[in-house]
Amino acid sequence: MSNGRPVTAFFVVVWCTVPAVVLLMLSFSAGWRFPLVLPASFTAGHWEDFFTGNSSDLQASCLVSLFIAAFVGGLATILGFGCSRWIASHRRKNLLLFIAYFPFVLSPVIFAVCLKYFFLRAGLAGNLAGVIFAQLIIAFPYSTIFLVSFWNNTIRNYVAVASTLGSGPAYINRHILLPAAKSFLLTCFFQCFMISWFEYGLTSVIGYGKVQTLTIKVFQFIGEANIYYAALSSCLLILPPVLLLWFNKKFVLQAAR
Amino acid sequence: MKKWTDDIVPRLLLLCFAVLPLVLGLGYALLYSFGIVGTLSTGVTTLYWAAAFRSGGLISSFVYSIYLSIVSICLCSFGGLWLACHMRDRLRQGILSYFIYLPMAFPAVVTAFFFLQFLSNAGFLSRVLYLLGWVHTAAAFPGLVNDRHDIGIIMAQFFSTLPVFVLLFLSVIENENLRGLTQIAQTLGAGSRQTWWRLTLPLLMKKSAPTLVLYFIFKLGSYEVPLLLGRSSPETISVLTVRKMQRFNLLDIPQGYAIAVLYAMVVMLLLIVSLKPSKQEAYV
Amino acid sequence: MAKISTIFFSWWKTVGLVVPAFIFLSCSNQQVTDSNTAGMSWPAVLAAAKGKTVVMNMHMGDKKANSYMHDYVVPALKKQFDITLTIAPGQGKEIINNIMSEKESGNRKGQIDLCWINGETFYQLRQLNGLYGPFTNQLPNARLINFSDPLIRYDFQEEVNGFEAPWGKAYFFGVTDTARVRKIPITMQDFSVYWKEHPGRFTIPQDFMGLTLLKSWLIELAGGISNLDGPFNEERYQKSSAQLWKFVNDNKQYFWKNGETFPASGTTVSQLFGNGELDFTFAFGNADADKKVAEGIYPPSAHLFILAAGCTSNTNYLGIPFNASVKPASMVVCNFLLSPEAQVKKCDVASWGSDMVLDYSRLDPRWKAAYDAIPPLRYGLPQAEIRQKSIKETKPEYMIRIADDFRKNVIEKR
């Protein structure tokens, strides 16, 4: 009963894969005019443009996106780990978590228009530092919330046992907490990486269109009706998450909204 | 041994990345909407709030956003529940266990772009139907994006959120040892229908309620998908707010801030409702 | 392992202190470069511009225009003047909103150094004191421009006064497909007949393209441009616009998607026209059909036509925000964009296909020859016809009101 029919499974697979296949096809297409289902001709030209750096700075956008995402992911994980430990043992844990949830659930674009004034004042609009800071406002609370669940009773008991047996804090950190937290931290990093990689609202408002991440580029290509480049940049955007999914499902599963 | 930084740093971080942005952002929006700050400021006035409510765009936008979110969440719940209960083993291993999560690799803007290319009158689906001889012109295809029934938005939301819900229900089933409980219930003589309605469903719903509300809030604020796939009126809250901020008529800007404040209050209420009573964290 | 452990258990507090400190420092440490150029000689401007980065906001709805900027202007500026030009999408309302936010936050180091504007955007920016100037008289290439030409001197009937430099001329046309549309509608009456016979084949974009169409109809209803000429006249606007909204609302059931939604941009409408979903689209520029047929977007049977109200003609300009941080470099970019080289290239359909703003008679023989060598348009209308039917823009208030009222009276009305 819990296995379903193969036919149903087949349809689920089709539903989930068609978008990726169509986008990939479009990125290799030229002359996709109505009513052609397949394009008039297939071409590797758009991808060649990308790899030879000929395509409206897509390469640069790719690097900018990767850099921001890696930076935000790393910073959010490092800061969130320490902060979550503090919150987990705080007597007003629930209130603190509630506060952390709020920036994380607000619509990024609405949040951004409200914050734009302060980013301008601080000289943090339209530059990389500003975008990273803005994305941390979402990613840091997320990582804190996520990592709070690591500091459960089992972990606390391990620490208590170890210190009763005479282990110093450094030893506990290195030989008990870190090995136990490793997979949590890695997951948290990749999730924050993805939050940043997927971000559009905050980046477009705070980045002023000057910090051109891949999501910004997709919008730009849609705006100029350049569907082939839009499809290509879409493929670039879904590639890292797909790889992560293949590599370890856990890294991706909790990041998507 | 406690260092002075032990308490200071986490507090500073929470202040810097969570509390301060919130207080400043919403505070500024509030002041702006009452005409206290900003280029157009002429002293305290409730004019902009009144105008925002009067123009009609505000109420219909909230109703519309709530409607869209409820429909998306319901569809995803049904779909997720059905898949989690009927295909549990397939979802745990084999190719389905990979492909079902593929939509999670799609940022909202890519999902929106795909559905635009897929469902529009001259889109992929329409072309396939043309090939099959079912439609003869692009105009004959029933418009599924920017459409009256919001099919484009709902399908895009369903596509991107279904895997999250499958995952949610799978993990609830696992954590709550549903299989064991079901067996006990059936040993005690409960029929399968009775077990489902009296045990499985209520338990699943109760455990996943906070997450459902959380995703409701996410959907409420979604921007890229309704921007590309929605109609010009009504608009969702995010789309309306941004549009109000960017008008030639500068008097619309304070209205935009008023809408932002209202939205933040709704979100806060929902968050209190979802997080407080259960005293437990949602499955984020 | 030991390293990682240090990061997570010892360093995180340092990082946690450094990051907020960095933000705090960046707040208090905003260096402002005063880059006023008044009275500077051109060589001094060139010297001050060297090595700078200029950020330009432009409407990016035209693939060709984008590649003209990206593939030709950007490398040329780098090579000739050592200026890095970054293009960021942004037009009209977005530019106004950005400059206004910067004014409100007291930001003296502006984010944008150059923007592509005209009409209502120029008007609003001037109202906000958001533009730097006058600067055009300092540009060497300004001598090639005939500033006494009313089409250049006045932007939507507002005197430019050196606060924006003309960049291109544009004419408003309807575009249709003669293979599908036998008798091309010109008047509003013709259109309403056509719509009833061919429902679902027409729509109005919400951007400047659609607003210009609505304005053309407003002029037609008012009985010609002469009745809407001069300062904004509330009474006349009320009278004609009431008729306009009634006309649109009475007919919108015959529009694309029953008039329940209107596409956000003219670019989308052109795409829908190309796909065969619509029978009409609109264009600013005589080269539009040549360009889009070559790109394969329009069918070869595409055709330009002029609406009954006349051929709305305007000029688009380059403005420098009041707080642009590298004003000399912005001016060098402006001057380059006004050079015969850049302007003649811009005219060529192969690169952009936009009308030149320079005065032909003032060009060197060399550039006259280059201009004459540009292949003639296949789809463009004869210059004489355009000149004869050309009408000027109304005051910007009309555009602003139409934008507001179109939403209020048509889009939001069920």
Quote the minimal CA–CA distance from A59 to chain B in Å. 18
- Residue C40: the pLDDT is 87
pLDDT band (50, 70, 90) for residue C1: low
Report how far residue C139's alpha carbon sits from residue C131's, in angstroms, rounded to the nearest whole number: 17
Does pLDDT of C207 surpass 60? yes
C412 or B278: whose pLDDT is higher? C412
- Nearest Cα to Cα of residue A198 among A222, A218, A171: A218
pLDDT band (50, 70, 90) for residue A152: confident
- Nearest Cα to Cα of residue C126 among C404, C306, C408, C395: C395
Q: Chain A neighbours among B 165-204 (CB < 8 Å)?
A: 167
Neighbouring residues of A76: CB distance < 8 A, sequence distance ≥ 6: A136, A139, A140, A142, A143, A188, A192
User: Is the Cβ pair A79, C26 closer than 8 Å?
Assistant: no
Q: Are A155 and A180 in contact (CB under 8 A)?
A: yes
Q: Could you write out the DSSP letters of every residue in chain A?
A: --S--HHHHHHHHHHHHHHHHHHHHHHTEE---TT-SS-SEE-SHHHHHHHTT-STTHHHHHHHHHHHHHHHHHHHHHHHHHHHHHHHT-TTHHHHHHHHHHHHHS-HHHHHHHHHHHHHHTT-TTSHHHHHHHHHHHHHHHHHHHHHTTS-HHHHHHHHHHHHTT--HHHHIIIIIHHHHHHHHHHHHHHHHHHHHH--HHHHHHSTTTS--HHHHHHHHHHTT-HHHHHHHHHHHHHHHHHHHHH-HHHHHTT--
- Nearest Cα to Cα of residue B9 among A171, A138, C28, C10: C10
| Amino acid at the residue B200 | T
Burial class (CB in 10 A: 0-12, 13-18, 19+), C85: buried
C74 three-class SS: helix
Q: Are B90 and A9 in contact (CB under 8 A)?
A: yes
Neighbour-count burial for A201-229, b at 16+ CB within 10 Å, e otherwise: bbbbbbbbbbbbbbbbbbbbbbbbbbbbb
Does pLDDT of B276 surpass 70? no
pLDDT band (50, 70, 90) for residue A2: low
A99: chain B residues, CB-CB within 8 Å:
14, 18-19, 22
Lowest-confidence pick of A53-57, B73-77, B136-140, B165-169: A53-57
- Residue A235: the pLDDT is 96
Tokens linked to C9: 């258990």
Q: Closest to A114 (Cβ–Cβ): which among B29, B126, B131?
A: B29
Q: Closest to A36 (Cβ–Cβ): which among B13, B127, B164?
A: B127
Give CA C345 to chain center in angstroms: 19
- Residue C21: the pLDDT is 81
Does pLDDT of A64 surpass 50? yes
- Residue B73: the pLDDT is 94
Mean of pLDDT values over C46-57 = 92
Instruction: Tell me whether B44 touches chain A (CB under 8 Å).
Output: no
User: Is the Cβ pair A225, C61 closer than 8 Å?
Assistant: yes
Report how far residue C284's alpha carbon sits from residue C170's, in angstroms, rounded to the nearest whole number: 5
**pLDDT digits over A76-91, tens only?**
999 999 888 888 888 8
Does pLDDT of A158 surpass 50? yes
Does the complex come out with an ipTM higher than 0.90?
A: yes
| Amino acid at the residue C77 | L
Q: Chain A neighbours among B 254-273 (CB < 8 Å)?
A: 256-257, 260, 263-264, 267-268, 271-272
Quote the minimal CA–CA distance from A70 to chain B in Å. 17
- Residue A67: the pLDDT is 96
Does pLDDT of C332 surpass 90? yes
Cis peptide before B202 (omega within 30 of 0): no
C94: chain B residues, CB-CB within 8 Å:
246
Instruction: Tell me whether B5 touches chain C (CB under 8 Å).
Output: yes
Report how far residue B130's alpha carbon sits from residue B138's, in angstroms, rounded to the nearest whole number: 8
Q: Are C85 and C342 in contact (CB under 8 A)?
A: no
- Residue B1: the pLDDT is 46
Mean pLDDT across chain A? 87
| DSSP 8-state class, residue B249 | S
**pLDDT digits over C379-401, tens only?**
999 999 999 999 999 999 999 99
B214: chain A residues, CB-CB within 8 Å:
105
User: Is the Cβ pair A120, C66 closer than 8 Å?
Assistant: no
Nearest residue in chain B measured CA to CA from A24: B114
Quote the minimal CA–CA distance from C77 to chain B in Å. 32
Report how far residue C21's alpha carbon sits from residue C17's, in angstroms, rounded to the nearest whole number: 6
**pLDDT digits over C334-393, tens only?**
999 999 999 999 999 889 988 899 999 999 999 999 999 999 999 999 999 999 999 999
Cα torsion at C29, C33, C34, C35 (round to 10°)? -160
Nearest residue in chain A measured CA to CA from C72: A56
Q: Closest to B25 (Cβ–Cβ): which among A9, A22, A111?
A: A111
Report how far residue B237's alpha carbon sits from residue B266's, in angstroms, rounded to the nearest whole number: 11
- Nearest Cα to Cα of residue C195 among C305, C280, C282: C280
B183 or B155: whose pLDDT is higher? B155
Mutation test of the interface with chain A: which of C67, C93, C111, choosing the one with the most A Cβ atoms within 10 A? C111
Quote the minimal CA–CA distance from C133 to chain B in Å. 21
Q: Closest to B117 (Cβ–Cβ): which among A26, A137, A201?
A: A26
- Residue A164: the pLDDT is 85
C54: chain A residues, CB-CB within 8 Å:
none
Instruction: Tell me whether C23 touches chain B (CB under 8 Å).
Output: yes
Neighbour-count burial for C46-65, b at 16+ CB within 10 Å, e otherwise: bebbeebebbbbbbbbbbbb
Distance (Å) of CA C193 to CA B81, C244, C245: 53, 16, 17
C66: chain A residues, CB-CB within 8 Å:
56, 224
Q: Are C90 and C98 in contact (CB under 8 A)?
A: yes
Model pTM score: 0.92
Query: H or E segment at C281?
Result: strand C280-284
User: Is the Cβ pair B271, A234 closer than 8 Å?
Assistant: no
Does pLDDT of B284 surpass 80? no
Distance (Å) of CA C305 to CA A130, B115, C288, C385: 48, 34, 12, 10
Instruction: Tell me whether C98 touches chain B (CB under 8 Å).
Output: no
C382 or B187: whose pLDDT is higher? C382
Does pLDDT of C233 surpass 50? yes
Q: Closest to A210 (Cβ–Cβ): which among C27, C106, C111?
A: C111
- Residue A257: the pLDDT is 37
Query: H or E segment at B262?
Result: helix B252-275
Mean pLDDT across chain C? 90
A137: chain B residues, CB-CB within 8 Å:
17-18, 21
User: Is the Cβ pair C403, B248 closer than 8 Å?
Assistant: yes
A15 strand-pairing partners: none
Neighbour-count burial for C113-147, b at 16+ CB within 10 Å, e otherwise: bbbbbbbbbbbbbbeeebbbbebbebbebbebbbe
Largest CA distance in chain C: 83
- Residue A255: the pLDDT is 44
Q: Closest to B232 (Cβ–Cβ): which among C100, C103, C261?
A: C261
A256: chain B residues, CB-CB within 8 Å:
103-106, 160, 163-164
B19: chain A residues, CB-CB within 8 Å:
99
- DSSP E strand boundaries for C157-243: 158-159, 165-177
